[in-house]
Structure 1
């Protein structure tokens, strides 16, 4: 510690000590006789030795290197601006993806996210992702492992209207949350305040929070809304604040969970064991998820004694950190795959800059040799060259950070869906970590190569060129494959006409309908729907086609999607029977399967009359349906099965309607018919073709992002190829002059320049094409709509090759013209 304080004291008083040292040396020199003053020694050497004793010699050398590097970069403005542009793109784009990944993590903004967990019900052979409200209340009161238990019931349909009745009522989505949800997930109000525990008291005034985007769209960003009253489902609520747009839950209106029965008439949430809430918890200090599991195992046994029909034997709560949960989501995995592709842009940028540094090194070889001849060691010169690269990387990193912030700002303005764009410590740390890594990759190898007394001819530039070509071609081929996949998806036949199909979900379960009442309501609604203008067929089905909820089972490593439907389902969907028969009214114990399912389960085609293999005592197959992808868009082999609809599925079922005219007009009529049967309901309607269009739009956005990356990467490759061609021309000027003097033609000269590039280009493109097939496989697995993507589409690869050849030709055009215009007489006088 004393040594550290001594060195810090030297650093703080550096100027005074330097002045005193100079005065002391001058005094001692003056004390010597004139004839002996030359024996005093080298004053500069003495000062350097003194600074080494002070302990800050490395600081002086670093300052000298930075100062010299800044002057060198300032003199080579063209190279500096080009290099900063390349590296700013290479750092800024991956940094944007990195910040987007962090923003996509649910709980990523929460304080201490490692202790925030998601609770799911587990038992032998049972896995349920949601909890009913009675269980939430029980564990909240009895579990000591949890400091807080948080409940959320989102995406609930409702109608919104102003208290005075001004303006038309409009359908909205509600989120019911416990008061501790916002603080535990790190949300702060955009205006006003958030929920408090006082808002959950039975005698408290009903309150609500508005989503910031809904407040801007519906209420014109009027601050006076805070404190006013609004109507939700006809019930008055006082607005106390705004939920920020950074929330991952995007419902328009938030209401305390304790007020759900007040807003949803007929709700039995507090006693309903079939309700499904997302439940989170904050672990108590020092408690691990495994310890929480053990405690909930004993608590579930106690609860089973009270509710044996609702709690399974051996049941417990599994606690998984929310960050880990978010990383398992399909959307997040797709985003991570895209982020890995984005990192290739950084690789291409580093390889590109390595090539440019080598090309520029040709003009500095004389300087480097002179410095080494005057006594500078190799590592001293390497350190100087690397310092220049590091300085360039840091400046480019700062530009990349500004670029990332600007891009996220544009996304925020256009889509209103991005979290806080101001860079936090993670973004800044990532920026300079990437900059340091980039400096090591593009700066150190060229520095070692340029200072080598026995240079290995071209090995470094060959490696750099191969890497940048491979990464650029990978992005280019993936873009071409996705373009081809999108065109096939748009033109694909899903097996039914989705352009004239509408469904309505009345939301009966949320309003306390039992099985019998829900079944009676659906029968009446189906009859009313069949009487609407343009109606062709109506059906009751448990899961809507191309909806957000799926049912299925696994068998021998394959997944089979299932559904419950009535006998009118085939006619309403437009599905055709290949063999066998349809359901009969009221029939049970039977099943229909698709041709793809039969091909897997009974390759010999003997499915009729056989029970489903995963349930030997269950339903028997009575019909084979032509392949139709009713659950996942774009699935080329839809392995599906259909079971008869019963009253057990009625509270969560939908009514499907096929129409002849505009489906959006019929959707409004169907919604009105559903509400007319029970004014309390807030039915949700969906035109099926809109789901298809959204999937195509999502794919188009992913394609646009990867295409932009491919274009930028190819642009970087063009710069690198031009730099390498210029490097070759500068290095071989005398040879080219001799060739021209001996009668070589222009084509022969250009071919001689391109010869060192042929192998790196071929190897790089081959590696990039193979990598593109692997990357496209990952994207295909994460995007159901791309299930039919051909990883080796010849047209896609041919288009990528043609575009790449064009880029190579344009990149070497200028250096080639410069080579063929070399004056032989001047070239022969080069040395």
Structure 2
């Protein structure tokens, strides 16, 4: 048939269906009339001739069906019939349909929400031209693993000598004091090459970007502002371009404004408010000058491996001596998402388990419903309906429910994705917005089809396996269930329990880990402590004397405020982001050098303010200042590890800055944890009056709510020097909460999945036991009539279900043990094979299963024997 003829047939069958049917009816009627006349001429009576003609044709309705089956697009008619019939059945059982749709909606909605985050973070290409060619260059330090930074000399060599990259750029993040945008402010600052913005294809909102000459020393001191700062500080005034700012004591001219869409996809979620060129010579906090993040774009036809080989050969020429250091090139998106890949995949796997439980629940419901429809199916098969037609009808009903569940799930996902992003914001890198785009919608549609096939195909196959007569007999009997249905339902229950146990164990491990962290003794009291950090501008405070003078005056002013009990300062409080450490220093009386120790610069009264227990010796005082003998205080771990003989006070330790000087240990303080995830380390405390600390964090113990004193403290600092803005103003309790915020989010999310799995599993077990009790009503009546007690019937109904639950728990324990390696990065302070958690999960599920079994089993056991015997 030609294409034109086929299109004409499609049009006729779709748009003129009544005419086609009328034509078919007239043609068949005319054909039967001709046969009847022919047989009459052969000598048959009219009635016998008519009957013989019909027998020869084979039945008008059957012939019509055969003709319809041969038509083009006949499947649309069949689908329309199946949809209409399926919709009538679902509307006839609204409770059943609502249960299935809501169950699937929860599972699909949760899965879609998690997938939208996974897609935006791990799968969606970066929003730049040819994102697959963007690579990140880092270094593999042998046994120490990869280091994400490179030094300036290495970047310069790569930039000048490579032929594998069409573009190469570098940037680094720091924080700076900015004056000239209203009140002095501590801002997140990016330092980047001019090629960095070219690599990203950035176009300025106003003004211009950096030019290559500004990458070199002596270049023009210019700056770029983010769109948010431009709108917030300058009201979006185009005249802001050309104005000057003071950044860490140096004057910069605003050269341009970055667009609102500009964002560096940084794995640490750093939002850059101002950008400076390399000529700025600003040193990033906590890092040597110009430890850079290097990115590049592969040249056409160059592979990652080929580029890596060339970059590695260039790197080797920059080393002073042969070392086990190699260049390592990875896709930029992989580097960005590397820190959250494991946790996101764990969440996706957990929500996949949840969806599996939902599908199993629905499959169990469909199996129970299929047992009720056995008579209907048997009658249809006895009347000649092929098995394929029955399966197609049942699958159509399943797909209708799955697609309805997907629509409801999309509504849940649209509402839940923003909540999920806000919930996980501290876990996610700085990426572009999470959206329900076409790929996520395609995923949801595919998920709906897959779930529809999963929970619909097996019950449909089980339903049509019976023979038509056997089905009629079994349906008529009404007292038992086919072994096929019974066995498959048992497999589903075991699968559901095993999956839920695995989720419950994972959630239990995270909950226990979080509770351990939350209740961890840090060695100090964090209540009623206000913290804030002041980073002095190097140009204004170039030496230790001026720095000490500022902090000394600030402490005196703050301690004089009403509502302040005490105040102290430290270079880095516990739970801070930056720490100093010293290694290979000498300790008097110890033959070998000390391997390593943390170094903390503190003020007088620090231990009192933080309420750190005092063990021996004395605290620092105002006499411990520059020009007097150098002193130090150590913590218990230092004294125990490096002075095992017990004599620590009075011993001298090599000066942390000048090996020709010595510091005398005058005190021993209690241990404090610098991090909630690290063990206690040796610590060497030195007085800030004898040290050098351009940055200090104040710890202020207040009589009431810490944040209520923030404005007064800011005013005291501004009175000394308003160009030195405080930053990170928060309570120490909030700082501690921020440290475990990511783990709290992981714990709560997985716990929510486990709780939902528990509810779905409980509903599934309840439904199975209630169904079994209802199917065995006649049998129960006979048993009770023969003398069985209520407890005997309870045991009869629940025994098999509890055996299946026990089998599911064993399978779930095995699955949890097999998957516990996945949780090693999320669980701290608790082993992933924690016996208590495993046993508790099993006991919880056994208890829930007993409760779910008891109610329907007791209802079945209380039926009156005579009513049960009359039950069909």
TM-score, length-scaled by structure 2: 0.73
- Are 1:499 and 1:689, in contact at CA under 8 Å, matched by a contact in 2? yes
- Are 2:579 and 2:599, in contact at CA under 8 Å, matched by a contact in 1? no
1:268–1:339 distance in 2 versus 1, CA, 3 Å: closer
* 2:37 is the alignment partner of 1:34: yes
Find the counterpart in structure 1 of residue 805 from structure 2. Answer: 761
1:134–1:675 distance in 2 versus 1, CA, 3 Å: farther
* 2:815 is the alignment partner of 1:805: no
* 2:129 is the alignment partner of 1:129: no
1:137–1:792 distance in 2 versus 1, CA, 3 Å: closer
- Are 1:498 and 1:689, in contact at CA under 8 Å, matched by a contact in 2? yes
Find the counterpart in structure 1 of residue 167 from structure 2. Answer: 148
Rounded Cα–Cα distance in structure 2 between residues aligned with 1:443 and 1:604: 74
Cα drift, residue 724 of structure 1: 0.8
Find the counterpart in structure 2 of residue 564 from structure 1. Answer: 599
* 2:263 is the alignment partner of 1:254: no
* 2:462 is the alignment partner of 1:449: yes
- Are 1:210 and 1:252, in contact at CA under 8 Å, matched by a contact in 2? no
Counterpart among 469, 473, 487 of residue 497 in structure 2: 469
Rounded Cα–Cα distance in structure 2 between residues aligned with 1:747 and 1:40: 65
Find the counterpart in structure 2 of residue 99 from structure 1. Answer: 116
Counterpart among 129, 134, 150 of residue 116 in structure 1: 134
SS in 2 for 1:563: strand
Rounded Cα–Cα distance in structure 1 between residues aligned with 2:188 and 2:713: 19
Gaps of 5+ in 1: 555-559, 612-616
SS in 1 for 2:372: helix
- Are 2:203 and 2:259, in contact at CA under 8 Å, matched by a contact in 1? no
1:414–1:139 distance in 2 versus 1, CA, 3 Å: same
The Cα offsets for residues 93-128 of structure 1, whole Å up to 9 and x where unpaired, read as 122112122334497543454322222245667854
- Are 2:343 and 2:826, in contact at CA under 8 Å, matched by a contact in 1? yes
SS in 2 for 1:173: strand
Cα drift, residue 806 of structure 1: 5.2
Q: 1:503-514 to 2 correspondence within 5 Å?
A: none
- Are 1:131 and 1:276, in contact at CA under 8 Å, matched by a contact in 2? yes
Rounded Cα–Cα distance in structure 1 between residues aligned with 2:446 and 2:643: 56
Q: 1:35-434 to 2 correspondence within 5 Å?
A: 35=38, 38=54, 39-40=56-57, 61-105=78-122, 108-111=125-128, 112-122=130-140, 127-132=146-151, 136=155, 139-140=158-159, 142-159=161-178, 162=181, 165=182, 168-176=183-191, 207-211=224-228, 233=246, 237=254, 239=257, 241-243=259-261, 254-258=273-277, 261=280, 267=282, 274-300=289-315, 304=318, 317-329=327-339, 331-410=340-419, 420-434=433-447
Rounded Cα–Cα distance in structure 1 between residues aligned with 2:602 and 2:222: 49
- Are 1:540 and 1:654, in contact at CA under 8 Å, matched by a contact in 2? yes
- Are 1:513 and 1:651, in contact at CA under 8 Å, matched by a contact in 2? no
Rounded Cα–Cα distance in structure 2 between residues aligned with 1:355 and 1:28: 51
> Which range is displaced more, 42-51 or 348-357?
42-51
Cα drift, residue 548 of structure 1: 3.1
Cα drift, residue 364 of structure 1: 0.6
Find the counterpart in structure 2 of residue 548 from structure 1. Answer: 577
1:421–1:501 distance in 2 versus 1, CA, 3 Å: closer
Q: 1:341-740 to 2 correspondence within 5 Å?
A: 341-410=350-419, 420-453=433-466, 455-456=483-484, 458-479=486-507, 482-499=510-527, 527-528=552-553, 531=556, 533-534=558-559, 541=571, 544-549=573-578, 563-565=598-600, 595=637, 628=671, 630-633=673-676, 635=678, 637-638=679-680, 654=696, 684-685=727-728, 688-740=732-784
SS in 2 for 1:564: strand
1:373–1:318 distance in 2 versus 1, CA, 3 Å: same
Find the counterpart in structure 1 of residue 45 from structure 2. Answer: none
> Which range is displaced more, 244-253 or 689-698?
244-253
Cα drift, residue 353 of structure 1: 1.0
Rounded Cα–Cα distance in structure 2 between residues aligned with 1:86 and 1:621: 69
> Which range is displaced more, 139-148 or 200-209?
200-209
The Cα offsets for residues 775-821 of structure 1, whole Å up to 9 and x where unpaired, read as 777546325xx4257964759965984686357525752x3465246
Cα drift, residue 491 of structure 1: 3.2
1:459–1:788 distance in 2 versus 1, CA, 3 Å: same
Cα drift, residue 85 of structure 1: 0.4
- Are 1:734 and 1:828, in contact at CA under 8 Å, matched by a contact in 2? yes
The Cα offsets for residues 714-769 of structure 1, whole Å up to 9 and x where unpaired, read as 22123212221232123212112223434544444333322221112233345546
1:782–1:822 distance in 2 versus 1, CA, 3 Å: closer
Cα drift, residue 374 of structure 1: 3.0
Find the counterpart in structure 1 of residue 860 from structure 2. Answer: 819
Cα drift, residue 464 of structure 1: 1.7
Find the counterpart in structure 2 of residue 557 from structure 1. Answer: none
- Are 2:184 and 2:724, in contact at CA under 8 Å, matched by a contact in 1? no
- Count of residues paired in the alignment: 790
- Are 2:581 and 2:596, in contact at CA under 8 Å, matched by a contact in 1? yes
Find the counterpart in structure 2 of residue 781 from structure 1. Answer: 825
Cα drift, residue 129 of structure 1: 1.8
1:682–1:16 distance in 2 versus 1, CA, 3 Å: closer
Rounded Cα–Cα distance in structure 2 between residues aligned with 1:434 and 1:62: 21
Find the counterpart in structure 1 of residue 795 from structure 2. Answer: 751
1:493–1:711 distance in 2 versus 1, CA, 3 Å: same
Cα drift, residue 336 of structure 1: 2.6
Cα drift, residue 404 of structure 1: 0.5
Rounded Cα–Cα distance in structure 1 between residues aligned with 2:771 and 2:118: 39
- Are 2:173 and 2:189, in contact at CA under 8 Å, matched by a contact in 1? yes
The Cα offsets for residues 690-719 of structure 1, whole Å up to 9 and x where unpaired, read as 321223444443343233323322221232
1:695–1:314 distance in 2 versus 1, CA, 3 Å: closer
Rounded Cα–Cα distance in structure 1 between residues aligned with 2:578 and 2:10: 66
TM-score, length-scaled by structure 1: 0.76
SS in 2 for 1:633: coil
Pairwise CA RMSD: 5.6
Rounded Cα–Cα distance in structure 2 between residues aligned with 1:597 and 1:91: 57
1:400–1:625 distance in 2 versus 1, CA, 3 Å: farther
Cα drift, residue 224 of structure 1: 5.2
Rounded Cα–Cα distance in structure 2 between residues aligned with 1:124 and 1:796: 38
The Cα offsets for residues 604-626 of structure 1, whole Å up to 9 and x where unpaired, read as 999999x9xxxxx9x99999988
Rounded Cα–Cα distance in structure 2 between residues aligned with 1:502 and 1:12: 77
1:194–1:228 distance in 2 versus 1, CA, 3 Å: closer
1:820–1:44 distance in 2 versus 1, CA, 3 Å: same
Rounded Cα–Cα distance in structure 2 between residues aligned with 1:289 and 1:77: 57
SS in 2 for 1:242: coil
SS in 1 for 2:277: helix
Rounded Cα–Cα distance in structure 1 between residues aligned with 2:346 and 2:77: 45
